[in-house]
Amino acid sequence: MKVALVGATGMVGEIMRSVLEERNFPITEFLPVASARSVGKTISFQGKDYTVIGLEEAVEHAPDLALFSAGGQTSLDWAPKFAAVGTTVIDNSSAWRMHPDHKLIVPEINADQLTPDDKIIANPNCSTIQMVMALAPLHKRYGIERVVVSTYQSITGTGVKAVQQLEDEYNGTDGEKAYPHPIHRNALPHCDVFMDNGYTKEEMKLVNETHKILDPNIKVTATAVRIPVVGGHSESVNLTLSQEANLDEVRELLNNTPGVVVVDDLVNNNYPMPLDAEGKDEVFVGRIRKDESQEKGLNLWIVADNLRKGAATNTVQIAEYLILNHN
């Protein structure tokens, strides 16, 4: 199993290396790939040192799998070149998510859609993954008519530059800015760029990707907010269901969903927080309660590590599914 990791030196690439190691992913040849400025650097994987190579050289090796976390334009330019030599690409950028010819996969929900002919597979947006993980069993049982989601997103979703900005502001030093305003002691209702409809791209990803993964008939509206947190993304989700839900059954459904953990013990002040989700692969759900302002309404609080289940782990899980079912 020859595996290329494209974007191996980036924030998500580093987490992906860790996830591959932790899950004992079956690799016989590892190819760390990055942009020209990182070619020649040395990185460690499974106790060995590897020299980072460029994209052209990686394509020449014709790997079995290429795990991409290198940005949308890189994916658009290079994923087809890998696919042309028989490589299966699993892409973590937004480049292919809404393309009608490419699958958008959360393994626990829709991996059974994949076939050996799928050579470019899209990994959903981090905030979408954790939300649909909780919504999928509820939609199957009760039907979901409408979703109103507000996110509280970690700065790690922006990247190293954002983490450095927060550290600089915390320490009172000047440095390069990832955001147009301070992030320390602040909240920015501005994730990604604004679009003509007044929503940001991040907000529309939640809408469009939920439609593609779950059901195009679900009405979705979103507000995405960046907060000075590094552990993971949090989401306040309000649902309008087709059928009245029993809260005990909701908790049982979610707890029995692979990859979802219910943390909902208000007596002991136990509820999901990014501080506790950091470094974990599960999606945590709590504050489960009826929406008392409307019939068939339900409120959830959903938290997950956006670099792991929201990115690296989901990618590796797709690869594991392919090995298990298509080899």
Whole-number pLDDT of residue 139: 98
Percent of the chain with pLDDT over 90: 98
Mean pLDDT of the 221-239 span: 97
Per the CB < 8 A criterion, the answer to whether 94 and 75 are in contact is no
Place of tokens 């919504």: 135
Mean pLDDT of the 238-251 span: 98
With a cut of 70, say whether residue 327 has pLDDT above it: no
Mean pLDDT of the 246-262 span: 98
The pLDDT tens digits of the residues spanning 64-113 come to 999 999 989 999 999 999 999 999 999 999 999 999 999 999 999 999 99
Radius of gyration of the chain from Cα atoms?
20
Q: Is 233 a catalytic residue?
A: yes
Q: Which fold has domain 2-124+311-326?
A: Rossmann fold (3.40.50)
Class of domain 127-306: alpha beta
Instruction: Say how far apart CA 106 and CA 17 lie, in whole Å.
Output: 20
Mean pLDDT of the 175-192 span: 97
Residues 102, 181, 233, 326: which is the catalytic one?
233
What does the longest C-alpha to C-alpha distance in the chain come to? 60
Whole-number pLDDT of residue 148: 98
Instruction: Say how far apart CA 178 and CA 15 lie, in whole Å.
Output: 21
- Enumerate the domain spans of the chain: 2-124+311-326, 127-306
Instruction: Say how far apart CA 50 and CA 40 lie, in whole Å.
Output: 9
Q: Judging by beta carbons within 10 Å of its beta carbon (0-12, 13-18, 19+), is residue 268 exposed, middle or buried?
A: exposed
Residues 102, 126, 139, 191: which is the catalytic one?
126
Q: What is the mean pLDDT of the chain?
A: 97
Instruction: Say how far apart CA 278 and CA 127 lie, in whole Å.
Output: 15
With a cut of 80, say whether residue 265 has pLDDT above it: yes
The candidate with the shortest Cα–Cα distance to 312, out of 97, 114, 129, is 129
Whole-number pLDDT of residue 326: 79
Chain Cα centroid distance, residue 38: 25
